[in-house]
Structures are given as C-alpha cells and as structure tokens.
Amino acid sequence: MIKHYSLIIDTMEYINLLILTLIIFIVVFVFYPKSADESTAKPDSNINFTIRSSFDLKYDDCIKRLPALKEDFEGYATSFNKEMDGFYAKNNSDLYYVRCNKLLNKLEYKQGK
C-alpha cells in the first residue's frame, strides 16, 4: 500500500510540473513583446513614398520572390504588409517599401520622405 501512495504523489508532482510548464509557456508567448522587425518597421501614415525603381515582373513571380528580396535588406527592420503585397524596410535614416503591383505587373522599390 505504501508504494501505491508514492505513485499517487509522483503522479501529482508530474501533473504540477506540467501545469507550471504550461503556465510559463502561455506567459512567455502571450505577453512577450513583439520583435523589432514587426513593431519598428511600420511607417507613420504621413510619410510620402516616391518610386526609386521598378521592374517588369509577373505578379505571381513577384510574390514568390518577396522573401528573398527581404534578405537584401539585412540590418533593416522589416515587416510584411500582406494587404499591399509588399514589405517595409527601415533603419535609422532610411525607409523603403518594396511591393508587387498587380495591375501593372511590376516590382516597385519606393523610398519614404
């Protein structure tokens, strides 16, 4: 009978450890602040963008290339903007917006002022 009670205690300890692990997991992933990429790359609404360059590229091909193009902005905080089919790239002094233009079938590089 003593072994039976020790198994119950061991089981309760394991359950408590699982609950504690679950609580820590929830706290870390729910309340952990967003990364710099997500929070600092979005521009203010009053910034005007001018097109620096554009390239003819089919829309579907352009969308597929966006993740690779994002790597060209290493050292910049970047964030994808799925509603506008592109991403922002920002560092201390520069702000760029790279987007795929569906109507014109172009890849556009824009710079914020």
In this structure, are 9 and 41 located in the same domain? no
In this structure, are 27 and 50 located in the same domain? no
CA angle 11, 21, 17 (to 5 degrees): 20
Q: What is the pLDDT of residues 13-64, one digit of tens each?
A: 888 888 988 888 787 777 665 444 444 555 556 678 888 888 999 999 998 9
Q: What count of Cα atoms within 13 Å lies in the side-chain half-sphere of residue 71?
A: 3
Mean pLDDT of the chain: 79
In this structure, are 83 and 61 located in the same domain? yes
CA distances (Å), origin 91, targets 53, 74, 111: 19, 10, 12
In this structure, are 6 and 40 located in the same domain? no
| Residue 95, beta-bridge partner list | 90
Q: What's the pLDDT score for residue 12? A: 77
In this structure, are 7 and 59 located in the same domain? no
Asked if residue 110 lies in contact with residue 100, where contact means CB atoms within 8 angstroms, the answer is no
Domains contained in the chain, number: 2
Q: What's the pLDDT score for residue 35? A: 47
Mean pLDDT of 77-94: 84
Q: What's the pLDDT score for residue 106? A: 92
In this structure, are 78 and 54 located in the same domain? yes
Range of the domain at 55: 36-112
Q: What's the pLDDT score for residue 50? A: 84
Higher pLDDT, 3 or 101: 101
Q: pTM of this prediction?
A: 0.56
Residue ranges with strand state E in 1-113: 49-56, 77-81, 86-90, 95-101, 106-112
Mean pLDDT of 73-95: 84
